[in-house]
Chains A and B, each alone.
Chain A
Amino acid sequence: MIDKEEIEDLTQAHEEDFILNVGPQHPSTHGVLRLKIKLQGETVTHIEPHLGYIHRSIEKMCEASSYRNFIYLTSRMDYLSAHMNNQACAMVVEKGLQLEIPKRAKVIRILMSELTRLASHQLWWACTGLDLGATTPFFVGFRDREVILDIFDETCGSRLTMDYNVPGGIMFDIHPNFQKNVHAFLKGFKKNLPEYHQLLTGNVIFQNRTKGVGYLSPEDTISFGCSGPTARGSGVSCDIRKWQPYDGYEDVQFNEVLETAGDCYARYLVRMREMEESVKIIEQLIDNIPEGDFQAKTKAVLKLPKGEFYSRVETARGELGVYLVSDGTSKPYRMKFRSPNFSNLSALREIAVGGKIGDLVANMAMLDLVIPDIDR
């Protein structure tokens, strides 16, 4: 490691500097992210992320669509936690309408978001293994994720971009087989989780590549606005489900996972333990889904009163905030999304500069970036 002052000097022009472009089509960036890297030998001295390759102006498109329609757009932001994105948007509309949604809808929403979190973390684990050179984790992770996607397919109608939330509750009631299938999944996943640790966590190569690599201090975590497992790996408590419970998370018993080491391995462990917590939440709720309506009655055309509304949820990657300005018509006047990946990416320079180019892949993998969420 070289110290910070030296890094500042190296960002200036230097005779032996080597500029390397990683991406936009690079497998380890998991999407169309372009990183301009300045190298000296093998040491990374400067990183500049270039965005805009998948910009679709979702915020502007939301302003052109009604309060029922804009929700489906947001599942295309962070597609791996599509349900939580939709939930945040449905919540902000419900806040504006001062609508209390039925208990049954709340519980099903939580169940679905925890299943989405599990699916997202499984995909992250699978791709992390592949990024660091292990092929089998990819297949093992996708095997368990497939079971969850089949559950989504049966209940919501689609596998990834589910569009299951509507203002006032959820789109359909759960499928009759839902509880049976979730129980079967939990049984299988609890049996398979030790396999995850057997394959990757205990591996010497994996530990050498992640332990002590990519240190992020708690102060930097806060100043960059990181959230989710990235921040919790540095010991910063920031779980929205604990700090500002929404949709009935206050009634569920679970622990906020915290690690204090701040390196890649800590971020890895946070996500692995978060999967166990998600299993815990699902187990508490799956047999206690209250009876009743799954959707509150709403008008055909929704109109929000004048004002500003904000809602926040904990997605699989961190805090998603939805800010909505209404001018009293049937369309939003302004939408703004505070996406977790954008803030997490801004910490990449702090994490990777001073390390080796080979560690960049591990650093990127442990940030768990989804590029469409950064660009929107």
Chain B
Amino acid sequence: MKFLIEYIGTIFKSLGSLWNGMRLTLYYFFHPKEIHTQQYPDNRDTLTLGERFRGEVVMPHDENNEHKCTGCTSCELACPNGTIKILYKNVVDETTGKKKKAIDEFVYHLGMCTFCNLCIIACPTDAIKMSHDFEHSTFDRKSLTKILNKPGSKLMKGVE
């Protein structure tokens, strides 16, 4: 008899503890506004990201098609994976007429980048920064190798 009472008692205790948990589940079922899920592809227009968000490395250009990269290779040395490669060309300085080294192509392999931000903090002239683009998927692997300086661009005046 004592065993039977204990057995039935356990059943009711179990049902009580189950109800305890299910009550919370049902509460959220009837209060969908307290759920935090973001409906991602639908909310693209209203999506806000932090200002320090690390999307991909970009090189900002001003309206005269000028950038700030002097080609000092600080970023190339700081990168742990060899993501960045800077190729040079010789240009003639307009005022002095001397030959000078300048960047030809700033090659950036997005596929190898781990978004660690070390190149950005290594840059002495703030020539590169992280953009907020994060949808990197593509059908062709070749499109992941990017040249960051625009064609015909040159070094901004006053940046050494």
Residues of A bordering B, CB below 8 Å: 65, 68-70, 72-73, 134, 136, 139-140, 143, 146, 150, 153-158, 161, 163, 166, 171-172, 175, 195, 198-200, 202-205
The stretch that binds A, out of B12-20, B59-67, B91-99, B104-112, is B12-20
| Known pairs A150-B50, A153-B49, A203-B17 / 4 extra A-B pairs, C-beta < 8 Å | A72-B80, A139-B28, A139-B35, A171-B117
| Contact present for A72 and B118 (CB under 8 Å) | yes
How far apart sit A171 and B130, CA to CA, in the bound complex (Å)? 15
Q: Which residues on the A side are within 8 Å of B35 (C-beta)? A: 139, 143
| Contact present for B118 and A205 (CB under 8 Å) | no
Contact of A175 among B17, B18, B50 (CB under 8 A): B50
| Contact present for A163 and B20 (CB under 8 Å) | no
| Contact present for A136 and B80 (CB under 8 Å) | no
| Contact present for B24 and A158 (CB under 8 Å) | no
Contact of B117 among A154, A157, A175, A199 (CB under 8 A): A157
Q: Which residues on the A side are within 8 Å of B121 (C-beta)? A: 166, 171
Report the minimal beta-carbon distance from A185 to chain B, rounded to whole angstroms.
12
Q: Which 5 A-B pairs have the closest CB atoms?
A: A69-B80, A157-B52, A154-B50, A72-B116, A204-B14
| Contact present for B21 and A200 (CB under 8 Å) | yes
Report the minimal beta-carbon distance from B81 to chain A, rounded to whole angstroms.
9
| Contact present for B114 and A175 (CB under 8 Å) | no
Give chain B interface residues in 44-84, CB to chain A under 8 Å. 49-54, 78-80
Q: If the complex has contacts A73-B80, A157-B130, A171-B121, are A136 and B21 also in contact, measured as CB distance less than 8 A? A: yes
Closest to B54 in A: A157
Most buried by A among B14, B21, B115, B121: B21
Closest to A142 in B: B36
| Contact present for A136 and B25 (CB under 8 Å) | yes
Give chain B interface residues in 1-37, CB to chain A under 8 Å. 10, 13-14, 17-18, 20-21, 24-25, 28, 35-36
Q: Which residues on the B side are within 8 Å of A143 (C-beta)? A: 35-36
Q: Which residues on the A side are within 8 Å of B50 (C-beta)? A: 150, 153-155, 157, 175
| Contact present for A205 and B52 (CB under 8 Å) | no
Q: If the complex has contacts A136-B24, A195-B24, are A163 and B116 also in contact, measured as CB distance less than 8 A? A: yes
| Contact present for B49 and A205 (CB under 8 Å) | no
| Contact present for B52 and A203 (CB under 8 Å) | no
Q: Which residues on the B side are within 8 Å of A163 (C-beta)? A: 116-118
Report the minimal beta-carbon distance from B58 to chain A, rounded to whole angstroms.
14
Most buried by B among A156, A158, A172: A158
Q: Which residues on the B side are within 8 Å of A166 (C-beta)? A: 121
Report the minimal beta-carbon distance from B14 to chain A, rounded to whole angstroms.
4
How far apart sit A150 and B49, CA to CA, in the bound complex (Å)? 9
Closest to B49 in A: A153
Q: Which residues on the B side are within 8 Å of A156 (C-beta)? A: 52
| Contact present for B36 and A153 (CB under 8 Å) | no
Report the minimal beta-carbon distance from A61 to chain B, rounded to whole angstroms.
9
Identify 9 residue pairs between A and B in the complex whose beta-carbon atoms are under 8 Å apart, listed by A's number: A68-B118, A136-B24, A153-B52, A163-B118, A172-B52, A198-B20, A200-B21, A203-B18, A204-B10
Most buried by A among B28, B50, B54: B50
How far apart sit A143 and B25, CA to CA, in the bound complex (Å)? 14
| Contact present for B116 and A134 (CB under 8 Å) | no
How far apart sit A199 and B25, CA to CA, in the bound complex (Å)? 9
Q: Which residues on the A side are within 8 Å of B17 (C-beta)? A: 202-205
Report the minimal beta-carbon distance from B136 to chain A, rounded to whole angstroms.
14
Q: Which residues on the B side are within 8 Å of A72 (C-beta)? A: 80, 114, 116, 118
Q: Which residues on the B side are within 8 Å of A154 (C-beta)? A: 50-52
Report the minimal beta-carbon distance from B7 to chain A, rounded to whole angstroms.
14
Q: Which residues on the A side are within 8 Å of B10 (C-beta)? A: 204
How far apart sit A175 and B51, CA to CA, in the bound complex (Å)? 10
| Contact present for B52 and A69 (CB under 8 Å) | no
Q: Which residues on the A side are within 8 Å of B18 (C-beta)? A: 203-205
How far apart sit A156 and B53, CA to CA, in the bound complex (Å)? 8
How far apart sit A166 and B122, CA to CA, in the bound complex (Å)? 12
How far apart sit A163 and B25, CA to CA, in the bound complex (Å)? 37
| Contact present for A198 and B21 (CB under 8 Å) | yes
How far apart sit A225 and B101, CA to CA, in the bound complex (Å)? 58
Q: If the complex has contacts A146-B36, A154-B52, A172-B52, are A69 and B118 also in contact, measured as CB distance less than 8 A? A: yes
How far apart sit A128 and B79, CA to CA, in the bound complex (Å)? 38
| Contact present for A155 and B52 (CB under 8 Å) | yes
How far apart sit A209 and B130, CA to CA, in the bound complex (Å)? 48
How far apart sit A198 and B22, CA to CA, in the bound complex (Å)? 10
| Contact present for B80 and A175 (CB under 8 Å) | no
Q: Which residues on the B side are within 8 Å of A73 (C-beta)? A: 80
Report the minimal beta-carbon distance from B139 to chain A, rounded to whole angstroms.
26
Report the minimal beta-carbon distance from B128 to chain A, rounded to whole angstroms.
14
